[in-house]
Structure 1
């Protein structure tokens, strides 16, 4: 069996490991509603396997110190292997003051190799802007980390008014279609980069 056939077979049979990062850590946050909605859509993709990383469940050290305490090391140990194992990422982010949460920047700055040569997609939410200004800032940072950002996003403008009290989208057709496009692109890029790295490690 030649290498091309071997890579193609692996790609066809192994689900893509996608880490879904819930960025908001604020009290009363809306993020879990968006996360539950998105994970339900991802579950319809048999070729994708998701891992929800909720930053509110972590107490990461501040990168300003560069030398985490033993407690900080323990917190990083909870998340770093999960980022390393992921083949792609979907970031669920609100917009805070025209940008993204400090908790997300902290996670990004503590890691480097874990992001490299992997696709990153965005699901954003907020007021009138729908979180898109946060996404545009994130694209620049992920480019510096050698990640590949997916072109299409899912954004919820005035998000609180779009979901009912049980977390169900009131008019889901357009959002569901956008999620399918995003997931299809994550899958394409994830599989393409998996094959490329199997042939030649990134940076070699």
Structure 2
């Protein structure tokens, strides 16, 4: 069997929120504990707070944007799949995430995208539903299952460990389901892209 079929797939985990006091890194730490249990994936965490992009979408990025894109774009290109960790702001997702998405196109094509959302009563699900048609326009495939964390503040320690055993088990089960589906799509689409380049 070829290395393409058996080697771990490359996963970019995108932490979308850049606000002061954000909860995203805690969610990323928790997700990391779930990814550590697997041997089918190589993980690259892209925290948008570490790579700020201006809202100037001109065709010629300035020096700061050029540096941020030089750090991020190759990592998105190399990824076989993505997980977006997003909060819900005003019934949608952060502008920083839309900015990142809109500055790239071919990087997303024919690749799977999964979502881990968090927020109040909705658990960030309205942000996820807004993201699905955006990624569809970019020819990406979104995973049906979603991890949704409702009112998670105070429910995790700083290392991402869930403080409620029952809720923690439910979240871990949801993570396994999502990651199993993502692995299937990531490996299948990687094989397909290798055999038949997308769009040709």
Residue 4 of structure 2 contacts residue 190 of structure 2 at CA under 8 Å; is this kept in 1? no
Quote the Cα distance in structure 1 between the aligned partners of 2:37 and 2:13. 15
Quote the Cα distance in structure 1 between the aligned partners of 2:160 and 2:185. 30
Q: Once the 2 structures are TM-superposed, how far is the Cα of residue 11 of structure 1 from its aligned partner?
A: 1.2
Quote the Cα distance in structure 1 between the aligned partners of 2:100 and 2:10. 19
Q: Once the 2 structures are TM-superposed, how far is the Cα of residue 66 of structure 1 from its aligned partner?
A: 3.0
Pick aligned residue for 2:31 from 29, 38, 56: 38
Pick aligned residue for 2:176 from 177, 180, 186: 180
Equivalent position SS for 2:84: strand
**1:158 maps onto 2:151 in alignment:** yes
Q: Unpaired runs of 5+ in structure 1? A: none
Aligned to 2:120: 127
| TM-score w.r.t. length of structure 1 | 0.93
**Deviations 1:96-122 (CA, angstroms, capped at 9, x unpaired):** 000000000000000000000000000
> Are the structure 2 counterparts of residues 163 and 73 from structure 1 closer, same or farther at C-alpha, using a change threshold of 3 Å?
same
Quote the Cα distance in structure 1 between the aligned partners of 2:182 and 2:160. 25
Q: Unpaired runs of 5+ in structure 2? A: none
Quote the Cα distance in structure 2 between the aligned partners of 1:19 and 1:197. 18
Quote the Cα distance in structure 2 between the aligned partners of 1:167 and 1:187. 22
Residue 95 of structure 1 contacts residue 101 of structure 1 at CA under 8 Å; is this kept in 2? yes
**1:69 maps onto 2:62 in alignment:** yes
Quote the Cα distance in structure 1 between the aligned partners of 2:93 and 2:170. 24
Residue 30 of structure 2 contacts residue 159 of structure 2 at CA under 8 Å; is this kept in 1? no
| TM-score w.r.t. length of structure 2 | 0.95
Q: Once the 2 structures are TM-superposed, how far is the Cα of residue 154 of structure 1 from its aligned partner?
A: 0.4
**1:190 maps onto 2:186 in alignment:** yes
Number of residue pairs aligned between Structure 1 and Structure 2: 197
